[in-house]
Chain A
Amino acid sequence: MKILPTFVYDYGEYWKSIQRYNTWFIKLRWFAVVGLLVLTIALRFIQGIQITKLQYFAFLAVDIFIALYNFLFYKINPNEVEQKVQSALGYSLFQMILDLISLSVLIYFTGGIESPLVLFFIFHMILGSLLLPAGIMYSMAFVLISALSALSYMEFIGYIPHQKNIYLYTYSFYKDILFIITALLTNAFVLIVSILLTNKIAVELYMRESQLKRALNDVHSAEESKQKFIMAVVHELKSPIAAASANLDLILSNILGEMNERIREKASRARFRLSESTKMINRILHVSQFRLLNQLHLEEIRLSGIISELLESSSSLLTKKQINAKFDDNENVPINADKVLIEIALSNLINNAIKYTEDNGKIEISVNDDNGIRHVSILDNGIGIPEDEIGRIFEEYYRATNVKKIEGTGTGLSLVKDIINIHNGAIKIKSPSQIGTHGRPGTEFLISLPIK
């Protein structure tokens, strides 16, 4: 039997909601078990109602039955074992059928057609309609109303004994044909309307959800095309640079004739600046490739070499700010990683450390191996990060509130985190740092990468 509603668009989401409902049903049922127990005991002792011994034991029996099958469902909850929508739906349907059987027995023992518990059918119809196709729910309502009609009829003709209702008044209507017909018609009407309305709302909700999903997909693919276009444009920038470089190379190789030292020096300088821009473009392309396609170019690299080079290239700034930078290198073996990306990550962190450390500050970098993990720590005694903002610092475009006067875009650290993550590593941040002092709290970045 196909019990999957036709309106379902996103099976993953639908599966999740069924899982949620199933877990929720089980919880709800524990409340019902307790509620019924309290009601049973109360009814036994409330003056004026006083249910019979038979009713009393029937209630307890039904309560135990519900508790037993709920315990069973709790134990064999397929949410953890089987990831199939169909079987989870069958599981929900089975729970509902057992519930309805228990409820029907209770209804008989609380006065049949007179029972107030008939109202609980509505709950089941509403909950069921959220998950199951309307057809199944209508058939269920039909079966329920038929069973209730049969019961009323048999009580009416005296084929089975009527059980005392649980109201405080003593009148009984089960022999009143007009009451029976009105009650049955009302119940049937309410059940059908409940199913109709709930089903309509459920369908609309799923529709809306799938619309949102589709819109989100569209946005993603538009973003991807945009990125690809930008990559193509950035790549185009390389052509004129390559052409200019080729011409300068030609001049510098003396093929066209000798030139004096001053001209040679300026031409070399121009060639150097062009190679810088090529390098920058290559970096942008490399990062886009990583962001867009998750591609890595793995090779054996040494972090100490990269860090030394980065410190070397920042040496003039370090001298200017009179920052004391220490590098403690204990790297034994190279690791397998994407050189360009790791360079970007480390340069981001080191440049941040320099940028956010005031004059006469300290920066301490160390590389250590421990149990197949390479640890890199970058410590400074700069301005630090406010405690309540540390959690957000890796978010894209987020900038801490104490750096508003210092230039930046807030894209660096989120990229750093992505780069470390894709290398199966981890990055942690602490502020104040170990070398921080009062007024100079500082920041501490700890990276760990698998060595393998």
Chain B
Amino acid sequence: MKLIAIIDDDPDILDASSLVLKSKGYSVITANNPNDGYKIVKEKKPDLIILDVMMDEPDDGFFLAQKFRKEKIMTPILMYTSVSKAIGLDFGKSEMVPVDDFVEKPISPDELVHKVENLLHKFEEKR
């Protein structure tokens, strides 16, 4: 059974996303701040991380993603985003932002499951 970590400061999003993923048979662990998020990823070594781009600070999600990559944690990351577009730092899947896919909130359950499956599948092929 695949383990997915969701890191987001919005309790509703956290709850809804984990219920959707659980219904599809995934195990889910959650954190509502970057510190706890870092901890659960370190300890539980999930197969996929869903990370919100903006928590207390506009860049929290990015910093966390960068921290993971610096420590050679290569777990695929799906990032909840769109704040970038508001502030004008429009970015795509570049080297600078070490995440594997972006998705804009709100996201439908089907889309979320689809993205997660895709990423896990791609990552398996790489290995």
- Which one, B12, B19, B85, B105, contacts A285 given CB within 8 A? B85
Listed residue (B15, B85, B90, B106) with the most chain A CB atoms within 10 angstroms of its CB: B106
- Asked if B109 and A250 make an inter-chain contact with CB atoms under 8 angstroms apart, the answer reads yes
Q: Within the assembled complex, what's the spacing in Å between the Cα atoms of A246 and B109?
A: 8
- Asked if B87 and A249 make an inter-chain contact with CB atoms under 8 angstroms apart, the answer reads no
Provide the residues of chain B in CB contact with A292, threshold 8 Å: 88
Residue of A nearest to B88 (CB): A293
- Asked if A253 and B10 make an inter-chain contact with CB atoms under 8 angstroms apart, the answer reads no
Contacts A238-B82, A239-B10, A243-B13 given; does A289 touch B88 at CB 8 Å: yes
- Which one, B13, B88, B90, contacts A246 given CB within 8 A? B13
* Number of B interface residues in the complex (CB < 8 A): 22
Q: Within the assembled complex, what's the spacing in Å between the Cα atoms of A255 and B17?
A: 11
Listed residue (A244, A255, A274) with the most chain B CB atoms within 10 angstroms of its CB: A255
Contacts A238-B105, A246-B12 given; does A255 touch B85 at CB 8 Å: no
Q: A295 on the interface (CB 8 Å rule)?
A: yes
Within 8 A of B (CB), among A81-135: none
Q: Within the assembled complex, what's the spacing in Å between the Cα atoms of A249 and B109?
A: 7
Q: B74 on the interface (CB 8 Å rule)?
A: no
- Asked if B86 and A232 make an inter-chain contact with CB atoms under 8 angstroms apart, the answer reads yes
Provide the residues of chain A in CB contact with B110, threshold 8 Å: 253
- Asked if B83 and A235 make an inter-chain contact with CB atoms under 8 angstroms apart, the answer reads yes
- Asked if B109 and A241 make an inter-chain contact with CB atoms under 8 angstroms apart, the answer reads no
Provide the residues of chain B in CB contact with A231, threshold 8 Å: 86-87
Q: Within the assembled complex, what's the spacing in Å between the Cα atoms of A241 and B17?
A: 15
- Asked if A241 and B86 make an inter-chain contact with CB atoms under 8 angstroms apart, the answer reads no
What is the 8 Å Cβ interface bit string for chain A, positions 218-262, against chain B (1 contact, 0 not)?
000000000010011011001101111111011001011000000
Provide the residues of chain B in CB contact with A250, threshold 8 Å: 16, 19-20, 109
Q: Within the assembled complex, what's the spacing in Å between the Cα atoms of A129 and B79?
A: 65
Q: Within the assembled complex, what's the spacing in Å between the Cα atoms of A285 and B108?
A: 21
- Asked if A246 and B86 make an inter-chain contact with CB atoms under 8 angstroms apart, the answer reads no
- Asked if A242 and B19 make an inter-chain contact with CB atoms under 8 angstroms apart, the answer reads no
Residue of B nearest to A278 (CB): B106
Interface of B is mostly: helix
- Asked if A295 and B88 make an inter-chain contact with CB atoms under 8 angstroms apart, the answer reads yes
What is the 8 Å Cβ interface bit string for chain A, positions 249-285, against chain B (1 contact, 0 not)?
1100101100000000000000000110010000001
Provide the residues of chain B in CB contact with A238, threshold 8 Å: 82, 105
Q: Within the assembled complex, what's the spacing in Å between the Cα atoms of A293 and B106?
A: 25
- Asked if B87 and A228 make an inter-chain contact with CB atoms under 8 angstroms apart, the answer reads yes
Provide the residues of chain B in CB contact with A242, threshold 8 Å: 10, 13, 105-106
Q: Within the assembled complex, what's the spacing in Å between the Cα atoms of A232 and B83?
A: 8
- Which one, B12, B20, B23, B85, contacts A243 given CB within 8 A? B12
- Asked if B86 and A247 make an inter-chain contact with CB atoms under 8 angstroms apart, the answer reads no
Chain A nearest CB: distance from B18 CB in Å?
10
Q: Within the assembled complex, what's the spacing in Å between the Cα atoms of A289 and B86?
A: 7
Q: Within the assembled complex, what's the spacing in Å between the Cα atoms of A245 and B17?
A: 11
- Asked if B108 and A249 make an inter-chain contact with CB atoms under 8 angstroms apart, the answer reads yes
Provide the residues of chain A in CB contact with B12, threshold 8 Å: 243-244, 246-247
Provide the residues of chain A in CB contact with B85, threshold 8 Å: 285, 289
**16 extra A-B contacts, CB within 8 A, seeds A231-B87, A249-B16, A295-B88:** A228-B87, A228-B88, A235-B83, A238-B105, A242-B10, A242-B106, A243-B10, A243-B13, A245-B106, A246-B106, A246-B107, A247-B12, A249-B108, A255-B23, A274-B106, A278-B106
- In the A-B complex, list the 6 residue pairs whose CB atoms are closest, starting with the nearest: A243-B12, A246-B16, A245-B106, A235-B86, A242-B105, A242-B106
16 contacts between A and B (CB under 8 A): A231-B87, A232-B86, A232-B87, A234-B86, A235-B83, A238-B105, A243-B13, A245-B106, A246-B16, A247-B12, A247-B16, A250-B16, A253-B23, A253-B110, A274-B106, A278-B106
